Amino acid sequence: MNRQNIIITGASSGLGYTMAKHFAKLGRNLILCARRIESLEQLKIELEQINSAIQISIVELDVTDHKKVFKVFQAAKEQFKDIDRVIVNAGIGKGASLGTGYFAANKETAMTNFVAALAQCEAALEIFREQNSGHLVTISSVSSQKGFRGAFNVYAATKAGLASLTEGIRIDLLKTPIKVTTIHPGYIRTEISHATKKQPFSVDADTGCKAIVKAIEKEVNVAFVPTFPWSIMRYVLPILPLSIMRKFS
């Protein structure tokens, strides 16, 4: 199915920024949301150079402003008539080991990556249920498969929570025209992963997002990307000894 009108949150950098370019090449209309409007303006210029035939709307949005999330999504619905796909991508990776004085940063990560994602899913599904169609995509992480230490502690927990939430939504919507996909990216070199010293099997943003968009377009239930090695590592991570996990991050 051709999902023509797509909302992407967290589109001012990283995966969202690069995914937008790949969808532009496919000729999709884009509603791009992020806090940094200047970056979205630059992205819009680049997308228009890639494909001048598509419609592009940019919106300043902090996803932790839950009321505004609903307003922005509904406004996009009114502007584009139908919203075919929502990609819940906005996220951050702040934080540190618990008990070391970084509660504020850990809380910010939890509120952005999980609670704000919940708001985005709610807002998207209100539209999709009304339309009786649509495709919800959440960007989780391979780190959702195992607890991680240090700065990844809360991040991994939020991504596990998001994956579980998305699976529950998928169960709710079985045998309906509304599709639900969870994407678990491995190490992809972006702003959010820049501070991570150890990134085994990492790929650049363009390579990673090409794999992400390919999986999204197939509308699979769950995808670990890039397929190699993460479709295998998803089974390895849960059984790794904690002494090995301690070496990560």
Catalytic-role residue among 17, 102, 155, 187: 155
Measure CA of the first residue to CA of the last residue in the chain; give whole Å.
Answer: 39
Q: Tell me whether residue 155 is one of the annotated catalytic residues.
A: yes
Q: Do 63 and 69 meet the contact criterion of CB atoms below 8 Å apart?
A: yes
Q: Do 184 and 230 meet the contact criterion of CB atoms below 8 Å apart?
A: yes
Q: Is residue 198 classed exposed, middle or buried when 0-12, 13-18 and 19+ CB atoms within 10 A define those classes?
A: exposed
Q: Report the C-alpha gap between 104 and 115 in whole angstroms.
A: 15
CA 3 distance to own-chain centroid = 17
Q: Do 77 and 127 meet the contact criterion of CB atoms below 8 Å apart?
A: yes
Residues with active-site annotation: 155
